[in-house]
């Protein structure tokens, strides 16, 4: 006689419709990273055509990133209440309209407003995409593959962004880069209702106070960290971070005191979800920090154009694509925690290679970056799957928002802290490395940052300028290598954390299942 434990439930496998739906979802996922890449390329042209100041150019990029990161949790939770497909389609429509407004903005002020609207609309995409994937692919193996496809699509945008953006900017006006999102969103609006299921898992009224607190917790922290990365530590930046942390404390207290919380913090009681979210944050911490440093190295140390620099970074994006698509297949035979930990260890090796980067030569830089991305690709796919797979179906949107917010916060911290480390080392070295013949004005500029040193060197006699630039580039590379050391240590420690906590938990579950049999 069989018991319920003796019967293996049938696998609910996805069919052709679900895989076609995944192809549709991959389009906005690709757009998410492509959009930022092409915007960076368009900034010089925007500055010239709209007479934008350096501060205004910074806000064109930052206002999108700020509102995107700050709104992810709110949009994920609202998607659980109003319907995940509905949220995705509303966001797609809003994103398309805001993209057209940005493309044809006659002034820089209106362009910044349009970019802000794009950030809010864009925050609906990843939570809705990931939560719909959990609905469409109930089978754990298929879900892991589907999430790997989504992560690979995001990385694909990074790889093709410089090529597509460069081609458009050479042939059309700067607004053409913002129109890239319009056909993608039109396809989603037309095909999405037929291929994507609708799920409205949660009920109850939306807690607007909690929504505002979640925005107040994330937005000032991201703003403060980005300002620290750009301008160094200042009271205003620190105050923004403190204000965000205070809002986060109030948000947590409010959720714990409600019977129907806006965001169920009990999700973090699952160690698998908590460790996976932390792993995502730490992995993107080092990835975004190193990506910024690599971009600066290629343009400021090697003297490459933004387009050429983007082409040199394309191989590392391919590494993420390969790693994120292969990881689910490997995880069918090897425990996902083992695959994730191994990938993190491989990333640590990659950062070890980056500690050997010199002022001249790109071979070590590209090799190290590819090894890093190949190691972090599996982590991004499997850790995301762990987060969204650990949550109950009615909280899929909230879990998807967590898996999207964790890397955003980790990346902001990485840019700020690793960027600050590079800046601190640069300023320490340049305090005594500036040639005496440079003069006080050039000396002050060169001691601040490498960009200012390059500008100052152009106005000095050739021999003095060459010595100044050589010292400045060497100081930057010294900071780059120390940041790579810190990243290698952090990835090695994270690999150990994952191996100890998640593998131990998986082993206990396996033993419990064997005992039950």
What span, in angstroms and rounded, lies between the C-alpha atoms of 241 and 247? 10
The pLDDT value given to residue 231 = 67
The pLDDT value given to residue 9 = 43
The pLDDT value given to residue 159 = 72
* Helix locations, 50-106, DSSP H: 54-82, 84-103
Low-confidence ranges of the chain (pLDDT < 50): 1-10, 508-517
The DSSP code for 335 is -
Are residues 217 and 251 in contact, defined by beta-carbon separation less than 8 angstroms?
yes
CATH 1.20.1250.20 applies to domain 14-203: yes
What span, in angstroms and rounded, lies between the C-alpha atoms of 381 and 399? 15
Q: How distant, in Å, are the alpha carbons of 327, 441, 499, 512, 513 from that of 509? A: 22, 66, 15, 5, 6
The pLDDT value given to residue 417 = 80
The model's pLDDT over 351-390, given as tens digits with 9 standing for 90+, comes to 999 999 887 778 899 899 899 988 888 888 888 888 877 7
The pLDDT value given to residue 354 = 93
**Three-point CA angle 152, 283, 59, nearest 5°:** 80
**Topology given in CATH for the domain delimited by 269-517:** Growth Hormone; Chain: A; (1.20.1250)
Whole-angstrom Cα Rg for the chain: 23
The pLDDT value given to residue 229 = 64
Are residues 405 and 281 in contact, defined by beta-carbon separation less than 8 angstroms?
no
The pLDDT value given to residue 4 = 43
The pLDDT value given to residue 272 = 78
- Domain ranges, ordered by start, for the chain: 14-203, 207-261, 269-517
The pLDDT value given to residue 128 = 84
The model's pLDDT over 156-176, given as tens digits with 9 standing for 90+, comes to 777 777 777 777 777 888 888
Residue whose C-alpha is closest to residue 370's, from 349, 339, 340: 349
Do the first three CATH levels of 14-203 and 269-517 match, i.e. the same topology? yes
Q: What is the pTM of this model?
A: 0.76
CA dihedral 226, 365, 310, 452 (to 10 degrees): 50
């Amino acid at each position: 006689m069989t018991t319920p434990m003796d019967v293996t439930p049938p696998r609910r496998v996805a069919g052709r419709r679900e895989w076609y739906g995944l192809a549709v979802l991959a389009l906005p996922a690709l757009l998410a990273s492509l959009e930022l890449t092409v915007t960076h390329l368009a900034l010089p042209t925007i500055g010239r055509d709209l007479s934008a100041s350096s501060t205004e150019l910074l806000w064109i990029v930052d206002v999108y990133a700020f509102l995107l990161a700050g709104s992810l949790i709110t949009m994920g939770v609202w998607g659980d209440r109003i319907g995940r497909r509905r949220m995705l389609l509303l966001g797609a429509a809003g994103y398309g309209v805001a993209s057209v407004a940005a493309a044809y903005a006659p002034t820089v002020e209106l362009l910044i407003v349009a970019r802000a609207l794009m950030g809010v609309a864009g925050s609906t995409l990843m939570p809705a995409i990931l939560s719909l994937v959990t609905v469409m692919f109930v089978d754990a193996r298929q879900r892991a593959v589907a999430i790997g496809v989504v992560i690979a699509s995001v990385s694909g945008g990074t790889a093709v962004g410089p090529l597509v953006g460069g081609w458009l900017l050479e042939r059309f006006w700067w607004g053409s880069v913002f129109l890239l999102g319009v056909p993608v969103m039109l396809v989603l609006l037309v095909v999405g209702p037929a291929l994507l299921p609708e799920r409205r898992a949660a009920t109850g009224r939306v807690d607007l106070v909690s929504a505002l607190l979640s925005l107040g917790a994330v937005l000032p922290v991201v703003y403060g960290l980005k300002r620290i990365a750009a301008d160094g530590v200042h009271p205003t930046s620190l105050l923004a971070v403190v204000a965000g942390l205070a809002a986060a404390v109030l948000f947590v207290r409010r959720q714990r005191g409600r019977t129907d919380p806006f965001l169920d913090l009990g999700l973090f009681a699952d160690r698998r979800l908590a460790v996976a979210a932390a792993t995502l944050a730490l992995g993107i911490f080092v990835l975004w920090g190193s990506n910024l440093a690599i971009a600066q190295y290629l343009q400021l140390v090697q003297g490459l154009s933004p387009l050429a620099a983007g082409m040199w970074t394309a191989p590392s994006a391919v590494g993420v694509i390969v790693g994120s698509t292969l990881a689910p297949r490997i995880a069918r035979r090897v425990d996902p925690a083992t695959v994730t930990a191994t990938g993190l260890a491989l990333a640590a090796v990659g950062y070890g290679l980056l500690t050997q980067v010199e002022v001249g030569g790109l071979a070590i830089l590209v090799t190290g970056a590819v090894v890093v991305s190949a190691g972090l690709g599996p982590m991004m796919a499997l850790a995301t799957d762990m987060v969204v797979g650990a949550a109950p179906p009615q909280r899929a949107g909230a879990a998807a928002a967590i898996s999207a917010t964790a890397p955003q916060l980790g990346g902001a911290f990485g840019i700020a802290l690793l960027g600050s480390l590079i800046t601190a080392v640069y300023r320490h070295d340049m305090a005594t490395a500036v040639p005496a013949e440079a003069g006080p004005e050039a000396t002050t500029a060169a001691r601040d940052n490498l960009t200012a040193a390059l500008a100052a060197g152009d106005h000095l006699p050739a021999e003095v300028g060459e010595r100044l630039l050589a010292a400045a580039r060497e100081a930057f590379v010294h900071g780059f290598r120390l940041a790579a050391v810190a990243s290698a240590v952090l990835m090695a420690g994270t690999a150990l954390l994952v191996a100890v906590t998640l593998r131990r938990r998986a082993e206990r579950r396996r033993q419990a299942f064997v005992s039950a049999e």
